[in-house]
Structure 1
Amino acid sequence: MPTPDTPAARVCIFGAGAIGLDLATALLTTNRTSLAFIARNQTLTALRNHGLEAHTPTGAITHVPPDRYRCVEHPAELGEQDVIFLTIKSGATAAALPQLKPLLAPHTMVVTAMNGLPAWYASGRPAIERHLTDTHARDTLFSNLPRAQIIGAVVHRNATCPLPGVVHRNAGTGMVLGQLDTPSSERLTTLTQLLDDPAYTLSSTPDIHRELWHKLLINASFNPISVVCERSLSEMVSAPSIRARLRAIMDELHGLGVALEVTTPGSFDIDALFERFAAERRGAYTSMLLDYQRGRPLELDRIVRAPLWLAARPGLGYPMPQLQAALREVEAKAGVLATVRASVRL
């Protein structure tokens, strides 16, 4: 892969939603990458014809013209890439992965920047693998991809995509990257150096499994509860009853992580997180609430059902009543919405 000193790193963003466009905006501030999007439908048209439009919380607008990147519908049009950022919804992974084949070379790094537990999460973690006794529940999406080419990612950004090709960059620091088997490598270091933007950093961690689990504590609590109460992050942590419910779910998830040996007692400061959300993310909403309000499918499988499934494995049986209750409420509410929308269409 080219180094940051040779601005020829071929980078593909597979999924031009909020996270993908937010990342692209940061990448396009440097000359270190040759950037391309895989997009469809209205997003494909918007990025090809009008360019990328990025808004900041201060009201500043950056317009990136279409000649700064490529945008295609079919991966075969691009050929082999140095880096692929998978910034799609977790439920779309099964359909997307076979399409990656024309983009892959032996050196290609595939960065899985999605919410929830990724398909490869149990790999290399004996405490989790021993609970995967149901072969039908195993996810083999990444079974044909060498582990050394998979880069786990945790996105610490809040962005929204109100229109195709338009991103509102609300808050956050960037993306944390990690390899599955080794704490660090020259390739991972090169990847973190693709950006030189204090507002959006690519950093690395020696334990991506732990980093992902700590992000799951946030996603699996705030996402479903936000759908139940339809409030922003700051509003949720400012309401004592909702705050207590969020804490109960996060305590369950942290305990499960300790049981699965992916984290340790006392390693996550819930109070500090609540205070940060109250102070820094006013008016920010979870992606699941925005999907619910727009009538889109909810990312429940990887964010909520996956940890519940792990907790229920034979030999573990870790109780998760608070998370189970939240899932039931979201399913009921989403089901009512789906029924209403279906009746309107009829």
Structure 2
Amino acid sequence: MTAGRKRMRIAIMGAGALGGYFGARLAEAGHDIWFIARGAHLEAMQAKGLRVESPLGDMHINPVQATHDPADVGPVDVVLFMVKNRDVEPAGEQIRPMLGPDTMVVTCQNGVTAWERLSQVIGAQHVVPGVARIPGEVSAPGVIRHTAPMDTLIFGEADGRPSDRVEALRAALEAAGTSPMVPDNILHELWSKFCSQAALASLTTLTGLDVGPLRDNPVSMKLFKDAIIETETLARAIVPGLPDDMLERDWAFVARLPPTMHASMLDDRRRGKPIEHEYLSGDVVRLGERHGVPTPIHSVLYAALKPIADQLEADAG
């Protein structure tokens, strides 16, 4: 820990690929990190620590502080809230023992609704919206595979004001060797990612293809771009002041992705796990209906994914 820099007490709620990676970097930098996990992944961390394989440098954190019960942890400075969208409300109830008066909870779910849903559970004063841009997976229990040299966590107060708590976490993540960003308007970042992510997740999951073939074929590329434009039109009806060049920036991000990259929702489908379609194309459709914005492309994507999602839910019991 660098002299003069505060040692933070941070809980990782949902220590999968994203939470495991950022938590390991922060633990290696000397912060007091607790990992909240379950099942074989938790057992492996408790027995052998947490290993991260990354193009930015491998790590092996051993021993680690890992538990299934937030009550074991007690109040913390920060909760990196990295559970699946479907678990936002129940996990919000579970983290109550870790909340002190000034605890900041950073949401990192796909989509645009998680931070508001969590605010209804634990109070808006705790919640800071965030956007994670990092590819990775739990390749084996206790092992995180970070698959490309990108590890950006973007976060900020929902009202755009500067705050000491946001700056403290930004400084900690930067000192730990990751790439944090605190934008002027986090809601712009949230919606910018949503516009590209909703299209990327639905198209890769539905076709079973990586982004390369979808991006490089002129016909599917047009569909991809049109799906982004559709969500951007919705965004402009909801969020004021979005940048004029958002489509260009979103497509530039898609263009930089490795051709073998695909959404984690496709990994979930392949592994027989429930998928997050309701919070991607599903939310595009519902928000479009609420705000009077037509969403024909995402309506088709959502409808095509729905029976797949229903079957996965049934198989999962």
TM-score (norm 1): 0.84
Tell me the CA shift for residue 10 of structure 1.
0.7
**Aligned with residue 79 of structure 1, among 68, 74, 77:** 74
**Aligned with residue 65 of structure 1, among 62, 65, 69:** 62
1:38 to 2:40 alignment = no
1:203-282, aligned counterparts within 5 Å?
203-264=181-242, 266-270=244-248, 273-274=250-251, 276-282=253-259
Between the aligned residues of both structures, percent identity stands at 25
Gaps of 5+ in 1: 122-138
Tell me the CA shift for residue 331 of structure 1.
1.7
CA RMSD of aligned residues (A): 2.5
Tell me the CA shift for residue 250 of structure 1.
0.6
Distance 2:297 2:277 in 1: 15
Partner of residue 133, structure 1: none
Letter in 1 for 2:109: M
**Aligned with residue 322 of structure 1, among 278, 297, 314:** 297
Rate the CA distance shift 1:181–1:107 in 2: closer, same or farther, 3 A. Answer: same
Partner of residue 140, structure 2: 163
Partner of residue 23, structure 2: 24
Letter in 2 for 1:10: R
Report if aligned partners of 1:234, 1:279 keep a CA contact under 8 Å in 2. no
What secondary structure is seen at the aligned counterpart in 2 of 1:5? coil
Distance 2:194 2:159 in 1: 20
Letter in 2 for 1:40: R
Tell me the CA shift for residue 227 of structure 1.
1.2
Partner of residue 54, structure 1: 52
Rate the CA distance shift 1:276–1:186 in 2: closer, same or farther, 3 A. Answer: closer
Distance 1:94 1:4 in 2: 39
Q: Which has the larger radius of gyration?
A: 1
Partner of residue 93, structure 1: 88
Distance 2:110 2:121 in 1: 22
Tell me the CA shift for residue 40 of structure 1.
1.0
Letter in 1 for 2:44: A
Partner of residue 294, structure 1: 271
Compare 92-101 and 197-206 and name the one that shifted more.
Answer: 197-206
Report if aligned partners of 2:96, 2:122 keep a CA contact under 8 Å in 1. no
Tell me the CA shift for residue 254 of structure 1.
0.5
**Aligned with residue 149 of structure 1, among 117, 126, 129:** 126
Distance 2:129 2:277 in 1: 20
What secondary structure is seen at the aligned counterpart in 1 of 2:204? helix
Report if aligned partners of 1:37, 1:71 keep a CA contact under 8 Å in 2. yes
Report if aligned partners of 1:234, 1:277 keep a CA contact under 8 Å in 2. no
Tell me the CA shift for residue 257 of structure 1.
0.8
Letter in 2 for 1:308: V
What secondary structure is seen at the aligned counterpart in 1 of 2:9? strand
Gaps of 5+ in 2: none
1:110 to 2:108 alignment = no
Report if aligned partners of 1:151, 1:178 keep a CA contact under 8 Å in 2. yes
1:123-178, Cα deviation, whole Å (9 max, x unpaired): xxxxxxxxxxxxxxxx5x42353433211101111111122221111232411111
Distance 2:135 2:177 in 1: 12
What secondary structure is seen at the aligned counterpart in 2 of 1:8? coil
1:199-227, Cα deviation, whole Å (9 max, x unpaired): 62222122111110001012110001101
Rate the CA distance shift 1:304–1:276 in 2: closer, same or farther, 3 A. Answer: closer
Distance 2:3 2:205 in 1: 42
Report if aligned partners of 1:4, 1:194 keep a CA contact under 8 Å in 2. no
Rate the CA distance shift 1:177–1:254 in 2: closer, same or farther, 3 A. Answer: same
* Count of residue pairs the alignment pairs up: 316
Distance 2:166 2:252 in 1: 32
Compare 296-305 and 86-95 and name the one that shifted more.
Answer: 296-305
1:262-320, Cα deviation, whole Å (9 max, x unpaired): 453633134x544554444232221110000001111122222223211102xx32100
Distance 1:205 1:297 in 2: 32
Letter in 1 for 2:146: R
Partner of residue 14, structure 2: 15
Tell me the CA shift for residue 184 of structure 1.
1.1
TM-score (norm 2): 0.91
Rate the CA distance shift 1:333–1:158 in 2: closer, same or farther, 3 A. Answer: same
Distance 2:288 2:257 in 1: 33
1:304-315, aligned counterparts within 5 Å?
304-313=281-290
Tell me the CA shift for residue 238 of structure 1.
1.5
The structure with the largest helix share of the pair is 2
Distance 1:146 1:92 in 2: 17
Report if aligned partners of 1:148, 1:181 keep a CA contact under 8 Å in 2. no
Letter in 1 for 2:280: I
